[in-house]
């Protein structure tokens, strides 16, 4: 019944940066060797030449450090991270300019002591008797709460429900009022070290999920073509530690603190910026067609005898599968697109896949390109404020799923998209086996 996000997992992240905040790089912001999440993608993963040459949007790769970084153990609560030393002698720590320093939020506005960086400290401690009473009673009211929600949804489905109701869905979340046994000690003692011992595995678990999301193509694209991922923590998870303590833990792994927009139960967010991938090794539109069966070539289509049954029966098994697995937390942001490309067929793609004709596939790809291009060009330029460069240029983006070009191949879809000015998006590592991300330069 407890929220599984409140249970920590094994620590899979090293601290081996010189300043104690990175993942294994000497400068504290890398991700270690290739193969780790967020690492520089391998060069030319498809065994083809890189016709695009150097990516103008790629981030430079720092040169290797001559002196390996020494691991730094986690600092005790309230301690400041050590200053990195040089093999040529000691140096004075740099002093930040006064105008660049963040102004702390006044403690009177937050009701809690202010900490460096503007993040509040520990929240008021809860009454021990109230905590114990809640912990004992939750094993009774939580199951009843869940049963009540099931009955309520059944009544709404059978009745003439008009869609009205509360604006917030907080009353649906039983886990918000549930105290896991692993958090009980921290709630009772109120000591910051106990809260840090509890919340550190929670943060590690969410960092792993966020970085897996980035590796699968998630995150918000920025003006430098890098992507930013973030996650939030509710105050019940770090009450005795404070938002400043959460930010301090996140900085060990290269994340920084950010305040969420608006008001809500999430009082602190951790954010990390990942640079754009270097070297988009992919075939150019004018290159010879990719061979069938390769990642950029045509993929095998389903049997023409099986396809009509899939087309009819998907009306039944798609809702059943969705309702039976909606509660599963899937780190892949495009899971349903991949699942749909395998187990469903759309009305527009039915003819192309049924006949497996190159002309039918070309008509289908062009139809989807025309639809997505018209939709994207209808968006106002003001909606691209976060991805607009200082000179006023920005990239419009569309995405073609595998089901759109299965029988024609990703390279054929890239060639047809180039006719309308679309190119591979340099903010993403190419993944032709699942989708094709395209961009088109525009100016405000």
| Secondary structure class of 201 (helix, strand, coil) | helix
pLDDT at residue 175, rounded to an integer = 66
Residues 250 and 330 in one domain: no
Residues 264 and 315 in one domain: no
Residues 128 and 198 in one domain: yes
Residues 68 and 121 in one domain: yes
Q: Answer for the pair 108, 121: CB distance below 8 angstroms, yes or no.
A: no
DSSP conformational letter for 258? E
Strands, sheet with 393-401, edge to edge from the N-terminal-most edge strand: 393-401, 435-443, 423-424
Q: Answer for the pair 1, 175: CB distance below 8 angstroms, yes or no.
A: yes
For 219-271, write each residue's pLDDT tens digit: 999 888 899 999 999 888 999 999 999 999 999 999 999 876 554 445 789 99
Which residue in the block uniquely carries the two structure tokens 């290739």?
Answer: 34
Residue 143 lies in a domain: yes
Residue 249 lies in a domain: yes
Number of domains in the chain: 2
pLDDT at residue 10, rounded to an integer = 39
Residues 277 and 311 in one domain: no
Residues 243 and 331 in one domain: no
Q: Whole-angstrom Cα distance, residue 330 to residue 15?
A: 27
Q: Which one of 264, 281, 298 terminates a domain? A: 281
Provide the greatest CA pair distance for the chain: 77
Q: Answer for the pair 69, 16: CB distance below 8 angstroms, yes or no.
A: yes
Residues 140 and 203 in one domain: yes
Domain coverage including residue 62: 1-82+116-281
Q: Answer for the pair 230, 271: CB distance below 8 angstroms, yes or no.
A: yes
Q: Whole-angstrom Cα distance, residue 402 to residue 431?
A: 10
Rounded alpha-carbon distances, angstroms, from residue 163 to 44, 156, 356: 51, 9, 43
pLDDT at residue 170, rounded to an integer = 53
Q: Whole-angstrom Cα distance, residue 311 to residue 406?
A: 16
Backbone Cα Rg of the chain: 26
Closest of 277, 286, 223, 276 to residue 414, by C-alpha: 286
Residue 420 lies in a domain: yes
Alpha-helix runs per DSSP H in 260-326: 307-325
Residue 424 lies in a domain: yes
Segments of the chain with pLDDT less than 50: 1-72, 76-116, 263-265
Residue 90 lies in a domain: no
For 277, counting Cβ atoms within 10 Å of its Cβ (0-12 exposed, 13-18 middle, 19+ buried), the class is buried
Residues 272 and 327 in one domain: no
Residues 321 and 256 in one domain: no
For 19-38, write each residue's pLDDT tens digit: 333 333 334 334 343 334 44
Residues 236 and 380 in one domain: no
Residues 143 and 261 in one domain: yes
Distance from the first to the final alpha carbon of the chain? 50
Q: Which one of 218, 247, 281 terminates a domain? A: 281
DSSP conformational letter for 283? -
Residue 405 lies in a domain: yes
Residue 108 lies in a domain: no
Residue 370 lies in a domain: yes
- pTM over 0.75? The answer is no
pLDDT at residue 280, rounded to an integer = 76
Beta bridge partners of 424: 438
pLDDT at residue 161, rounded to an integer = 55
Q: Tokens for 192, please give them.
A: 């910051």
Residues 141 and 217 in one domain: yes
Q: Tokens for 93, please give them.
A: 């720590």
């Amino acid at each position: 019944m407890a929220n599984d996000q409140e249970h920590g997992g094994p620590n899979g992240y090293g601290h081996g940066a010189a300043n104690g905040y990175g993942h294994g790089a000497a400068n504290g912001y890398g991700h270690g060797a290739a193969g780790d999440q967020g690492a520089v993608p391998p060069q030319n993963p498809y065994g083809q030449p890189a016709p695009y040459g150097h990516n103008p949007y790629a981030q430079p790769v720092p040169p290797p450090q001559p002196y390996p970084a020494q691991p730094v153990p986690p600092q005790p609560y309230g301690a400041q991270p050590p200053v990195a030393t040089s093999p040529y002698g000691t140096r004075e720590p740099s002093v930040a300019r006064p105008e660049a320093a963040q102004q702390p939020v006044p403690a009177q506005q937050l009701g809690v002591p202010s900490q460096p960086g503007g993040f509040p400290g520990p929240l008021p401690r809860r009454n021990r008797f109230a905590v114990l009473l809640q912990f004992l009673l939750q094993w009774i009211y939580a199951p009843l709460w869940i049963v009540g929600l099931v009955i309520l949804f059944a009544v709404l489905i059978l009745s003439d429900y008009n869609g009205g109701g509360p604006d917030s869905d907080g009353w649906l979340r039983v886990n918000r009022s549930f105290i896991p046994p692993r958090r009980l000690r921290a709630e009772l003692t109120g000591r910051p070290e106990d809260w840090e011992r509890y919340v550190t595995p929670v943060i590690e678990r969410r960092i792993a999920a966020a970085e897996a999301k980035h590796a699968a193509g998630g995150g918000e694209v920025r003006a430098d073509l890098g992507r930013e991922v973030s996650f939030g923590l509710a105050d019940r998870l770090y009450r005795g530690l404070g938002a400043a303590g959460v930010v301090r833990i996140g900085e060990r792994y290269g994340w920084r603190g950010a305040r969420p927009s608006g008001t809500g139960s999430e009082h602190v967010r951790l954010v990390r910026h990942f640079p754009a991938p270097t070297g988009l090794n992919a075939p150019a539109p004018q290159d010879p067609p990719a061979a069938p069966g390769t990642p950029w070539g045509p993929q095998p289509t389903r049997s023409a005898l099986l396809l009509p049954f899939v087309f009819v029966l998907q009306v039944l098994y798609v809702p059943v599968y969705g309702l039976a697995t909606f509660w599963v937390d899937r780190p892949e942001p495009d899971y349903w697109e991949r699942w749909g490309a395998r187990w469903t067929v759309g009305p527009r793609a039915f003819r192309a896949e049924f006949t497996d004709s190159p002309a039918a596939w070309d008509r289908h790809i062009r139809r989807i390109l025309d639809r997505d291009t018209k939709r994207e060009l209808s968006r106002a330029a003001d909606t691209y404020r976060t991805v607009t460069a200082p000179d006023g240029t920005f990239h419009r983006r569309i995405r073609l799923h595998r089901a759109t070009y299965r029988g024609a191949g990703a390279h054929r879809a890239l060639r047809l998209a180039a006719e309308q000015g679309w190119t591979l998006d340099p903010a993403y590592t190419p993944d032709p086996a699942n989708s094709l991300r395209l961009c088109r330069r525009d100016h405000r």
